[in-house]
């Protein structure tokens, strides 16, 4: 399903990074991890990725700041999925307002996450044509 897709996971919690890595690797994805938004931005400037899975609340540069930088300064259309432990509608609204494609809350079902990632990557391919 995600074979060969390169996914950047920005997550400050190493256990959550490992879980995301395991889920995505099982579906064939290539996963690169960043510990915060600043590191994710630097990695995006160095290489191409098919999707960014980004925790919203991280040290140094949070997911909101990173997404705003990616959309406004880098002018990148990479699909961005915000990830939050919060169930607040404010986070979901803020994600799309800042330019993320969507936001999901932890914990999530692995198959649902992979289906969402596949859908967003495919949609982005169509838009780039």
1 domain residue, yes or no: no
Number of independent structural domains in the chain: 1
What is the helix (H) or strand (E) element at residue 83, kind and residue range?
strand 80-84
Q: Which domain holds residue 77?
A: 6-128
Q: Are 10 and 63 in contact (CB under 8 A)?
A: yes
pTM over 0.95: no
41 domain residue, yes or no: yes
CATH number for the domain spanning 115: value is: 3.40.50.2300
Local confidence pLDDT in tens for the 129 residues of the chain: 899 999 999 999 999 999 999 999 999 999 999 999 999 999 999 999 999 999 999 999 999 999 999 999 999 999 999 998 876 667 788 888 999 999 998 888 899 999 999 999 999 887 664
């Amino acid at each position: 399903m995600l074979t060969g897709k390169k996914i950047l996971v920005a997550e400050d919690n190493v256990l959550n990074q490992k879980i995301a890595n395991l889920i995505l690797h099982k579906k064939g994805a290539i996963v690169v991890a960043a510990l915060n938004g600043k590191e994710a931005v630097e990695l995006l400037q160095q290489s191409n990725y098919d999707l960014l899975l980004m925790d919203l609340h991280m040290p140094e540069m949070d997911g909101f700041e990173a997404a705003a930088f990616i959309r406004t300064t880098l002018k990148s259309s990479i699909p961005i999925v915000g990830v939050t432990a919060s169930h607040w509608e404010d986070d979901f609204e803020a994600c799309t307002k800042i330019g993320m494609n969507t936001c999901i809350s932890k914990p999530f079902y692995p198959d649902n996450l992979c289906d969402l990632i596949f859908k967003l990557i495919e949609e982005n391919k169509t838009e780039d044509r």
